[in-house]
A and B are shown apart, each in its own frame.
Chain A
Amino acid sequence: MKIKDYLSKEAVILGLEASTSEEVIRRLGGKLRDLGLVKDNFVEAALEREANMPTGLPLGGEYNAAIPHVDIEYVNKSALGLAILKEDVVFYNMVESDEEVPCRLVIMLALDQPKSQIEMLQSVAALLQSPETVKKLVSAKTTEEVFSILS
Chain B
Amino acid sequence: MTKTIIVSCGTGIATSTVAAKAIEEACKKAGISVITKQCKGQEIPELLKQGADLIVTTSTLRFDPGIPVVKGLAFLTGIGIDGVVKEILDILSD
Contact = CB atoms under 8 A, between A and B. Distances in A.
Contact of B10 (A53, A57, A118, A128): A53
Contacts of A113: 13
Contact of A94 (B12, B15, B18, B21): B15
A57 B76 contact: yes
Interface in A66-122: 67, 69-72, 94-97, 109, 111, 113-118, 121-122
Given A95-B59, A121-B18, A58 B13 contact: no
State which size class the interface on A falls in: 20 to 34
A49 B15 contact: no
Contacts of A109: 14
B6 interface: no
Contact of B17 (A57, A97, A121): A121
Q: Is the interface of A mostly helix, strand, loop or mixed?
A: loop
A59 interface: yes
State which size class the interface on B falls in: 20 to 34
Contact of A97 (B18, B38, B60, B78): B60
Contacts, number: 78
Given A53-B10, A58-B79, A59-B79, A125 B60 contact: no
Contacts of B79: 58-60
Interface string B56-70: 011110000000000
Interface of A: 49, 52-55, 57-60, 67, 69-72, 94-97, 109, 111, 113-118, 121-122, 125, 128-129
Given A111-B13, A115-B13, A125-B78, 10 more contacts: A69-B13, A69-B14, A94-B15, A94-B59, A95-B57, A115-B17, A116-B17, A117-B17, A121-B18, A125-B18
